[in-house]
Amino acid sequence: MHEMSVLNNLMNKVTELNALHGGKRVISMKLRLGALSHFTPQHFREHFDFASRGTVAEGARLELTQMTDETDPDAQGVVLESLEFET
């Protein structure tokens, strides 16, 4: 039930980082999906397509890693590992 909320938070952070680093748009994003995050890569892509519309991240390439360790401290979350901007 919190998918859109997580994506909105992510879009806010990405927009903030893009501006901070003088990016024109986001080319790619690398993320880890926690084992207990309730996201599969396909599920995440569907929400991302919707949440990124009209933002600097629209059309960005996603590199997603589905984690399997339920004891990982970030198992319930989505971790943005890196961002590639067009400068």
Partner 1 sequence: MSSSESSEPGKSKTIKVDYLARVEGEGSLYLKIRDGAVEDAKLKIFEPPRFFEAFLRGRDFREAPDITARICGICPVAYLMSACHAMESVCGVRVDGQLRALRRLLYCGEWIESHGLHVFMLHAPDFYGFDDAVAMAKAHPELVQRGLRLKKLGNAIMTALGGREVHPINIKLGGFYRAPRRRELDALRGELEWAREFTAVALARLKELEFPDFERDYEFMGLRHPSEYPLNEGRLVSSAGVDEPISRYDCVLREVHVAHSTSLQSRRVGGGPVHMGPMARYALNHDKLPPEVQQLARDAGLGARCQNPFQSVLVRMVEIAYAVHEAARIIAEYAEPDAPAIAVEPRAGTGYGATEAPRGVCYQRYTIDDAGVITDCKIVAPTSVNQAVIEEDLRVFAGARAELPDEQLRWQCEQAIRNYDPCISCSCHFLKLDVERV
Residues that bind partner 1 (CB under 8 A): 1-2, 4-10, 12-13, 17, 21, 23, 27, 74, 77-87
CB of 85 closer than 8 Å to CB of 16: no
Q: Which is nearer to partner 1, 42 or 87 (CB)?
A: 87
Q: Which is nearer to partner 1, 58 or 74 (CB)?
A: 74
Rounded to an integer, what distance in angstroms lies between the CA atom of residue 58 and that of residue 15?
11
Q: Least distance to partner 1 from the beta carbon of 10, Å?
A: 4
